[in-house]
Chain A
Amino acid sequence: MLRFFVLIGLVVVIALIVRSQMIPESFGDLGHFRADAVEEAKRFEPRHLGRDVCADCHDDVAALHVKDAHARVECESCHGPGATHVAADGEGGIIRPDGKAPCLVCHQLMPARPSVFAQITPEDHYRFVGVEDPEVDCIACHDPHEPLFMDRDLRTARLHPLIHRCRDCHAGRTDETLVRPPGHPEIFECDYCHADIVDGFAERPHSEVRCTTCHLFFRESDFAGRMLRDSDPRFCLLCHREAEFRSDDAPPGIDWPAHREDMADDTIDLDKRCVDCHQDRIHPLQTRTAVGSEE
């Protein structure tokens, strides 16, 4: 019996000695884990490097990018991680988005998307701007680095109280012509404050255009957002540029270079914006004088 107990005792003692030798180094230094693991976890190289790294080579694109609607979108959100591209001195290793699909990843109309976010279905959008060829890509009109030709930096845009519209809550896109049911809280539609502008709007050629289509609104908190008035000619041309893939009638196409030459012939100031001549087709600009124009 003694031999048996000695044997079992020996096995246990050996097991305990082996066990104590096998505890990894640094185990227990910071808690019940291998302290070295923390440093090991930091060792991987980041693959998404950030726009500042991109700007080292692509400063022209970066400069365009920061002042337009995609200002907050990181380069790598669309182009994928840049580490391989940088390591290869700019040879490959980067995604070049192609076709409509990459744009629609964000901008496809979905009820789950916040209604303040710009979203379309290609069919409706193309009908709206008169594009006849469904194969046309988004980049035929929109440069993804400068999608809306905003004429001022988003950061310097005016603060504006939040506009609540029906579909902000009713994301199912209920018909906006529905009357407000009794007892429903007040909704701040644009005409609530800007009735003088909106009054004649329905009779003018832009009656189908939503206010926020041109007056881009960026919600920033529960209370306010940034309101932009875009009047760069290129912004108007997003809809009105004459192109082989779109119909002439709706919206009317303009042969921009020719129009510009005409104006030059008529000795009109080429810094003028479209709205300076065509405001009667949009809405009266009487509430505030347009920036930079002294009528």
Chain B
Amino acid sequence: MDFVFPNELNVTWTVMIVLYPYITGLVAGAFIVSSLFHVFNKTELKAVARFSLASAFVFLLFAPLPLLMHLGQPQRAFNIMITPNFSSAMAGFGFIYTGYLIVVVMEIWFVMRHSFIAQAQGSGLVAWICRSILIGNLHEDDSTRAADHKMARFLAGLGIPMACLLHGYVGFLFGSLKANPWWSTPLMFVIFIFSAIVSGIAVLIFHYMIVAKLNGWKLDQPCVRSLTRYLWGFMIIAVSLELLEVMSIAYKQTEEWEVLYMLIREKLFIPYVVLQYMVFSLIPFFLLGINSLFNLRDRIANAMVWTAATMLLVQVLLMRWNVVVGGQLVSKSMRGFTDYFPGVWEKEGIAMAVVIFTLPFGILWGFNKIVPLFPDVVARGGTTGEGE
């Protein structure tokens, strides 16, 4: 078991392609949280509604960056929209991405128009930026507010299938490759969507709690509790689906299982079996389960939920790694495995991945300077968001 086709010694899809579905997953997940508020009237989520929408937006802005870093000819990136080959799952990317970006931008515009107008008064850079965003129209009354609200609701609804499409298509892209036994399953589409929602909720909890801690805000406890339950529910679905996929291959004991068993046993034992399932799924499952079923004291509950959310962020990253890289470790000769670990300073290395993943948080900070993402907290002088 050591023969690899000679062209497979180097892994083609690097850590950048691990990062891409990870980031789009955060987009889809965060957007769905905001839509839970805007469309499904889950009012307990109001505290993070804006924050989640803005998070979805900034992550969406950076989603193509790892792809551009990975392309051999990035200057030709727009070929994907100029001469799209619609027999390819990948050709949909340009249009799905652009369409979704337009929806998210419009949604932000309508949801936050009121705040933009408030910030556009007076002079200074922020006011000037807000005036440009509003295209000079600062008029607002009850009728415009109602229209904005209606529009935001419509876009939030439209955005849900588009978010699923944007992210699910990545799953489909992997799941539809018949050449690769580790990828080739129709479940991939669904797995990616649910793991996306998990990562989206997790990143909101993770980030919200850090921001609150840094600013000394009191957390909106009902909101956190609601997010906790959503996270628990979605992670159970996501992990079940991930297990279902591998269990069904294992149980069928087809020819490809021989090589996939070796992959799981030898190559992916640590990142897949130990880390993805035993550590980063099982522990958050219990932490979130306890918090969903029992009422613990806020301090302890929040610590547990934050830990679980952070762990699930890692879990989803591990899952992306194990899918994207794991699938490429198996030689199509079915007789051996190659190896891959990114270098730190390469063009497609760890440092670049960290930079790409950190940038959205910086942009989000800038976004918050223009329009406050936690308006209720700020309005009350940083005391509390209680009593919504």
Q: Collect the chain B residues with CB atoms within 8 Å of residue A12's CB.
A: 102
A8 and B102 contacting across the interface, CB-CB below 8 Å: yes
Q: Tell which of A1, A8, A27, A32 touches B147, judged by Cβ atoms closer than 8 Å.
A: A1
Q: Collect the chain B residues with CB atoms within 8 Å of residue A32's CB.
A: 83, 85, 87
Smallest CB separation, B74 vs chain A (Å): 16
A7 and B135 contacting across the interface, CB-CB below 8 Å: yes
Q: Does A112 sit within 8 A of B, measured CB to CB?
A: no
What is the predominant secondary structure among interface residues of chain A facing chain B? helix
Q: Does A252 sit within 8 A of B, measured CB to CB?
A: no
> Known: A1-B144, A3-B135, A8-B102. Contact between A23 and B109, CB under 8 A?
no
Q: Does A192 sit within 8 A of B, measured CB to CB?
A: no
1/0 per residue, CB under 8 A from A, across B237-268: the answer is 00000000000000000000000000000000
Tell me which residues from 1 to 60 in chain A have a Cβ below 8 Å from any Cβ of chain B. 1, 3-4, 7-8, 12, 15, 19, 22-24, 27, 32
Q: Collect the chain B residues with CB atoms within 8 Å of residue A3's CB.
A: 135-137
What is the CA–CA distance of A1 and B137 in the complex, to the nearest angstrom?
Answer: 8
Q: Tell which of B83, B106, B135, B151 touches A27, judged by Cβ atoms closer than 8 Å.
A: B83
Tell me which residues from 253 to 291 in chain A have a Cβ below 8 Å from any Cβ of chain B. none
Total of A-B residue pairs, C-beta within 8 Å? 30
1/0 per residue, CB under 8 A from A, across B209-248: the answer is 0000000000000000000000000000000000000000
Smallest CB separation, B291 vs chain A (Å): 42
The count of chain B contact residues (Cβ–Cβ below 8 Å) is 18
A1 and B151 contacting across the interface, CB-CB below 8 Å: yes
B83 and A24 contacting across the interface, CB-CB below 8 Å: yes
Q: Collect the chain B residues with CB atoms within 8 Å of residue A24's CB.
A: 83
B106 and A19 contacting across the interface, CB-CB below 8 Å: no
Q: Does B82 sit within 8 A of A, measured CB to CB?
A: yes
1/0 per residue, CB under 8 A from A, across B79-119: the answer is 00111010100000000001000100110010000000000
Q: Does B341 sit within 8 A of A, measured CB to CB?
A: no
Q: Collect the chain B residues with CB atoms within 8 Å of residue A7's CB.
A: 135
Q: Does B78 sit within 8 A of A, measured CB to CB?
A: yes
Q: Collect the chain A residues with CB atoms within 8 Å of residue B87's CB.
A: 32
What is the CA–CA distance of A23 and B137 in the complex, to the nearest angstrom?
Answer: 37
What is the CA–CA distance of A7 and B109 in the complex, to the nearest angstrom?
Answer: 13
What is the CA–CA distance of A101 and B106 in the complex, to the nearest angstrom?
Answer: 71
Q: Collect the chain B residues with CB atoms within 8 Å of residue A19's CB.
A: 78, 81-82
Q: Collect the chain B residues with CB atoms within 8 Å of residue A23's CB.
A: 82-83
What is the CA–CA distance of A23 and B78 in the complex, to the nearest angstrom?
Answer: 11
> Known: A22-B82, A23-B82. Contact between A4 and B136, CB under 8 A?
no
What is the CA–CA distance of A1 and B140 in the complex, to the nearest angstrom?
Answer: 11
Tell me which residues from 118 to 150 in chain B have a Cβ below 8 Å from any Cβ of chain A. 135-137, 144, 147-148
Q: Collect the chain A residues with CB atoms within 8 Å of residue B151's CB.
A: 1
What is the CA–CA distance of A19 and B147 in the complex, to the nearest angstrom?
Answer: 33
Q: Collect the chain A residues with CB atoms within 8 Å of residue B144's CB.
A: 1
B83 and A4 contacting across the interface, CB-CB below 8 Å: no
Smallest CB separation, A10 vs chain B (Å): 11
A8 and B83 contacting across the interface, CB-CB below 8 Å: no
Residue of A with least CB distance to B84: A32
Which residue numbers of A lie inside 8 Å of B, CB to CB?
A: 1, 3-4, 7-8, 12, 15, 19, 22-24, 27, 32
Other 10 A-B pairs with CB < 8 A, given A19-B78, A23-B82: A1-B144, A3-B135, A3-B136, A4-B106, A4-B137, A8-B102, A15-B98, A19-B82, A24-B83, A32-B85
Provide 28 A-B residue pairs closer than 8 Å at the C-beta atoms, listed in order of the A residue. A1-B137, A1-B144, A1-B147, A1-B148, A1-B151, A3-B135, A3-B136, A4-B106, A4-B109, A4-B135, A4-B137, A7-B135, A8-B102, A8-B105, A8-B106, A12-B102, A19-B78, A19-B81, A19-B82, A22-B78, A22-B82, A23-B82, A23-B83, A24-B83, A27-B83, A32-B83, A32-B85, A32-B87
Which residue numbers of B lie inside 8 Å of A, CB to CB?
A: 78, 81-83, 85, 87, 98, 102, 105-106, 109, 135-137, 144, 147-148, 151
6 smallest CB-CB distances across A and B, nearest first, come from A3-B135, A22-B82, A32-B85, A19-B82, A3-B137, A23-B82
